Amino acid sequence: MSPTPPPVLIRAEGLQRRLDGEVPVTLVHEVSLEIAAGEFICIMGPSGSGKSSLLYLLGLLDMPSAGRLLIDGRETSTMDEETLTAFRLERLGYVFQFHFLLAEFSALDNVMLPMRRLGRLNAGAARQRARELLERFDLGDQAHKFPHQLSGGQRQRVAIARALANDPQIILADEPTGNLDSVSSANVRDLLRELAHDLGKTVIAVTHDAHFSAAADRRIPIVDGRIDMHWTPGV
């Protein structure tokens, strides 16, 4: 018997993102796709193609002008702001090109921030989980250092640990290796792949790096806001 395929976790139906103004601009054009639980997906495309715009829609950081987005069967466009905020905190984690760690907080305190916002764990339990996450990424001895005392690769690993703080199902990463050297980039790529393949997280990353995307289970090429399976890097 063939193995049972993993369930669809994310379903987009005709997603559009349009900026209204004197000259309206459509960033995402009627994108429909399905992403399964535990997949490592890379969204690729030329500069200005709408990659990050699509990621922000999938990550509920932006709302579609048209279309539907279902996550784990739940329709997200009808959620009120309070429900959306709680849903993002519980189910989604984010990693960006610029780590956005708070400069005045230690690595440990940065990782604790999402747990404090969600309020599911008491202070002691949140601190313990933050320590465990840092140790998982070989940062246990850096817990009390501030971002300026860490290397670029270390800062990005702290950001990944922070994204995992509330044990979300989905990790979204926007050019997570864009500011890193080749060794640090490979480390971050491997960490994200492990999150999908070892921990069962669904990982969706925007990247322009063909070496990074080669590690993905599937690539979604975006050109002019549309999925274009004929596009290849460098074209």
DSSP code string of 180-230? S-HHHHHHHHHHHHHHHHTT--EEEEE---HHHHTTSSEEEEEETTEE-TT
How many independent structural domains does the chain possess? Answer: 1
Residue 63 in any domain: the answer is yes
Residue 136 in any domain: the answer is no
Residue 127 in any domain: the answer is no
Q: What's at 37, amino acid-wise? A: A
pLDDT digits (tens, 9 = 90+) for 40-65: 999 998 888 888 999 999 999 989 99
Paired residues of 36 in beta bridges: 8
CA angle 191, 160, 90 (to 5 degrees): 120
Residue 191 in any domain: the answer is yes
Q: What is the CATH number of the domain that holds 49?
A: 3.40.50.300
Q: Quick check: 165 and 115 in contact, CB under 8 A?
A: yes
Residue 158 in any domain: the answer is no
pLDDT digits (tens, 9 = 90+) for 113-156: 999 998 888 999 999 999 999 998 889 999 999 999 998 888 88
Residue 107 in any domain: the answer is no
Question: The domain containing residue 204 runs over which residues?
Answer: 8-100+170-227
Closest CA to 157 of 182, 129, 185: 185
Type and span of the H or E element at 134: helix 123-136
Q: What is the pLDDT of residue 230?
A: 78
pLDDT band of residue 235 (cuts 50, 70, 90) is: very low
Residue 172 to residues 16, 42, 105, 133, Cα–Cα distance (Å): 19, 10, 23, 18
Residue 30 in any domain: the answer is yes
Residue 96 in any domain: the answer is yes
